[in-house]
């Protein structure tokens, strides 16, 4: 199945990401209350409203959430790119339309879950990849639901 986007854990333990509960202590950064338009320039306010801790902001179920490094471009159409870190919540029940970390016949992949009218497929968000339709004999395990994406921009 050549159209799998591979998921590479960011630690060496097999089939494991970095548990959110083991991530660093809160590192609150200033959060400016001024909204920043992405169009025309606007003067910024000179004050902050509150702090922002990304762990608190992103992680809803600390014991069941894990960070994984993405390898591949099958979800590039929704802004999940090669090298990004995804937050996957193992406790969320996957539903039609969710982006999931799935295991098909022992191979990991990130795709959008399609489950309608008795048909189960995993859809990419990149036209270069084809949907994966599950047929009798395929073993599917939905490991968790993608709940966040982190990207570090480099200049």
Enumerate the active-site residues. Answer: 74, 111
C-alpha–C-alpha distance, residues 4 and 74, integer Å: 8
Q: What angle do CA 102, 139, 137 make, to 5 degrees?
A: 145
CA distances from 67 to 49, 70, 74, 133 (A): 29, 10, 18, 27
Beta-bridged to residue 6, according to DSSP, are 71
Give the DSSP letter of residue 46: S
């Amino acid at each position: 199945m050549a159209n799998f986007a591979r998921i590479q854990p960011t630690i060496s333990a097999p089939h494991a990401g970095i548990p959110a509960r083991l991530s660093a202590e809160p590192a609150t950064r200033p959060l400016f209350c001024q909204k920043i338009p992405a169009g025309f320039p606007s003067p910024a306010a000179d004050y902050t409203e509150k702090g922002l801790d990304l762990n608190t902001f992103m992680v809803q179920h600390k014991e069941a959430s894990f960070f994984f490094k993405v390898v591949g471009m099958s979800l590039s159409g929704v802004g999940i790119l090669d090298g990004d870190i995804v937050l996957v919540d193992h406790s969320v029940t996957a539903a039609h339309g969710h982006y999931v970390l799935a295991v098909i016949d022992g191979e990991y992949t990130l795709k959008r879950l399609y489950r309608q009218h008795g048909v189960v497929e995993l859809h990419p968000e990149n036209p270069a990849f084809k949907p994966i339709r599950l047929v009798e004999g395929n073993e599917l395990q939905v490991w968790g639901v993608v709940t966040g994406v982190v990207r570090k921009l480099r200049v």
